[in-house]
């Protein structure tokens, strides 16, 4: 692909990115939206057996109608100059330049290590869902869904619809936190409907609060999971464990661009502007908040980037309501302290370099750990172990360098001829 220039470039084609691209393009801006995946939708709107979820369809259709350039299966790996991103796809490397950039890079799951978590068929909750949507056969398989968050219900519902045998959903949040959350749902009628829908579709599946996995076991692959709830510990056999402890915003590109990142995510103003001029952020990367908030933020960012702040402002009220809901969710599904004891000294924390917790405990911080244990120095560059170490030890992610992900040497060479020594 050759180098291209756009007025507005959107990175990420999940709910926030699609909404942003639509609003930007309908305001007349020359717009492109890019995603790592071959199809739009991101995680929550990921296509299954080739079909997008109903909620995604109008946005995708509009994106097409508005003449938005769709750049699939492409990854930003560097920001070599202001207004320019370096990108790699299957064909090689190319650059895109922009006047405004909207980051909608979404979120990933937080993995908390426990004995046996590295066994094949222990996956994230969203992870197993993504794999099944991409063709992994699951019919008749016994599945335990564990961790925290509404994602567990969505995943269980989806897997059931694919004829998996979902044995139980283990939610770590205590019952009273969920009850408080449920009591607040009438304020958000659509969410109440959604919850009722989940309850109906998951009828017959054990849903246990205050419950979490303490170990996974098996020969060469998962065969059983040991769970704890209160004073009771028991083991259940299963084929897959779909386990994720909440979501973490994917802020690496924002950090590379110099955007200020707060405790929740990328800091933005009321028009979704980041601390870097001409760079907007929308969706989960500004703070985990769910699909409705992501869409609202995406629309606001799209209007704002296209010079239509008044249209953006009309959405502030809805965004505020979604933010209230998101805050309630965050409170309800906060990770409990007991989860800090799941990992033992010999439990691997860094899966890329096989570094156990005991060796990391001996380190004074990330720099020390990277230098002396190689934790965080493998291909994932700390994206898997980072979420765990933030929770377990309070270690904050370090500054980000290019390449944002492993890329070919050829891509780092690029297409510009090397400068000769003067």
Q: Which of 267, 351, 390, 398 binds another protein (CB under 8 A)?
A: 351
Please tell me whether residue 362 binds another protein under the rule CB under 8 A.
no
- Asked if residue 131 binds another protein (CB under 8 A), the reply is yes
Give me 412's structure tokens: 């780092």
Bridge partners for 208 per DSSP:
170
Q: For residue 148, state whether it binds another protein (rule: CB under 8 A).
A: no
CB of residue 138 to another protein, shortest distance in Å: 9
Q: Find the length of the chain.
A: 422
Q: Which is nearer to another protein, 124 or 298 (CB)?
A: 124
Maximum distance among all Cα pairs of the chain, rounded to whole angstroms: 74
Handedness of CA 164, 168, 170, 171 (dihedral sign): positive
Pick from 3, 61, 64, 118: which binds another protein (CB under 8 A)? 118
Kind plus residue range of the DSSP H or E element containing 324: helix 316-332
Q: Does 147 bind another protein (CB under 8 A)?
A: no
How many chain residues bind another protein (CB under 8 A)? 66
Taking CB under 8 A as the criterion, the residue among 108, 167, 191, 228 binding another protein is: 108
> Considering only residues 354, 358, 361, 396, which one is a binding residue for another protein as defined by CB under 8 A?
354
Report yes or no: 104 and 10 within 8 Å, Cβ to Cβ: yes
Distance in angstroms (rounded) separating the CA atoms of residues 332 and 346: 31
394 binds another protein, rule: CB under 8 A? no
Chain residues 260-279 in contact with another protein, contact rule CB under 8 A: none
CB 404 within 8 A of CB 252: yes
What separation in angstroms does the CA of 16 have from each of 42, 118, 263, 282, 301?
Answer: 9, 32, 20, 6, 9
Strand partners, 93: 88
**Cα–Cα distance between 297 and 284 in angstroms, integer?**
9
Judged by beta carbon, residue 128 or residue 211, the one nearer another protein is 128
Work out whether 80 is an interface residue with another protein (CB under 8 A). yes
Q: CB 280 → another protein: shortest distance, Å?
A: 23
What's the min distance (Å) between Cβ of 419 and another protein? 6
| Binding track, positions 27-66, relative to another protein; x by CB under 8 A | ---------xxx----x-----xx----------------
On whether the CB atoms of residues 132 and 365 are closer than 8 A, the answer is no
Task: Assess 122 for contact with another protein (CB under 8 A).
Answer: yes
Question: In terms of Cα–Cα distance, which of 37, 41, 44 is closest to 17?
Answer: 41
Is 82 a binding residue for another protein by CB under 8 A? The answer is: no
**In the 8-state DSSP scheme, what is residue 359?**
H
Site for another protein in 224-253 (CB under 8 A): none
End-to-end CA distance of the chain: 32
Instruction: Kindly list the residues in this chain that would bind another protein in the complex (CB under 8 A).
Output: 36-38, 43, 49-50, 78, 80-81, 86, 108-109, 111, 118-124, 126-131, 134-137, 220-221, 351-354, 363-365, 367-368, 371-372, 377-381, 383-384, 401-403, 406-410, 412-414, 416, 418-419, 421-422
């Amino acid at each position: 692909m050759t180098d291209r220039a756009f007025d507005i470039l959107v990175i990420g084609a999940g709910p926030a990115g699609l909404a942003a691209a639509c609003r930007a393009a309908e305001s007349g801006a020359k717009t492109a939206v890019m995603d790592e995946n071959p199809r739009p939708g991101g995680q929550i709107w990921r296509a299954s057996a080739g079909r997008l979820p109903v909620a995604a369809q109008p946005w995708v259709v509009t994106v097409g109608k508005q003449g938005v350039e769709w750049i699939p299966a492409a990854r930003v790996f560097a920001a070599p100059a202001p207004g320019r991103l370096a990108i790699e796809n299957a064909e090689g490397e190319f650059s895109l330049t922009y006047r405004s950039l909207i980051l909608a890079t979404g979120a990933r799951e937080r993995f908390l290590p426990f004995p046996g978590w590295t066994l094949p068929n222990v996956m994230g909750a969203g992870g197993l869902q993504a794999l099944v949507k991409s063709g992994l056969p699951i019919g008749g398989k016994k599945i335990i869904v564990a961790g925290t968050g509404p994602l567990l219900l969505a995943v269980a519902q989806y897997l059931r619809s694919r004829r998996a045998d979902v044995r139980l959903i283990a939610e770590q949040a205590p019952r009273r936190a969920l009850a408080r959350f449920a009591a607040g749902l009438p304020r958000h009628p659509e969410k109440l409907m959604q919850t009722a829908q989940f309850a109906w579709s998951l009828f017959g599946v054990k849903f246990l609060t205050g419950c979490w996995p303490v170990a996974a076991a098996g020969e060469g692959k998962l065969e059983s999971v040991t769970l704890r709830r209160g004073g009771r510990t028991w083991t259940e056999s299963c084929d897959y464990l779909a386990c994720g402890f909440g979501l973490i915003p994917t802020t690496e590109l924002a950090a590379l661009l110099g955007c200020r990142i707060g405790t929740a995510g990328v800091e933005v103003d009321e028009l979704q502007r980041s601390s870097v001029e001409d760079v907007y952020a929308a969706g989960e990367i500004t703070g985990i908040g769910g699909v409705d908030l992501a869409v609202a933020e995406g629309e606001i960012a799209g209007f704002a980037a296209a010079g239509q702040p008044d249209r953006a402002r009309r959405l502030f009220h809805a965004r505020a309501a979604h933010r209230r809901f998101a805050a309630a969710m965050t409170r309800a599904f906060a990770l409990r302290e007991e989860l800090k004891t799941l990992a033992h000294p010999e439990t691997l924390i860094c899966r890329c370099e096989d570094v156990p917790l005991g060796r990391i405990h001996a380190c004074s911080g990330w720099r020390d750990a990277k230098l002396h244990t190689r934790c965080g120095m493998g291909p994932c560059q700390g994206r898997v172990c980072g979420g765990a170490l933030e929770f377990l030890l309070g270690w904050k992610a370090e500054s980000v360098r290019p390449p944002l992900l492993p890329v070919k040497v050829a891509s780092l060479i690029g297409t510009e001829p090397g400068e000769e020594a003067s």
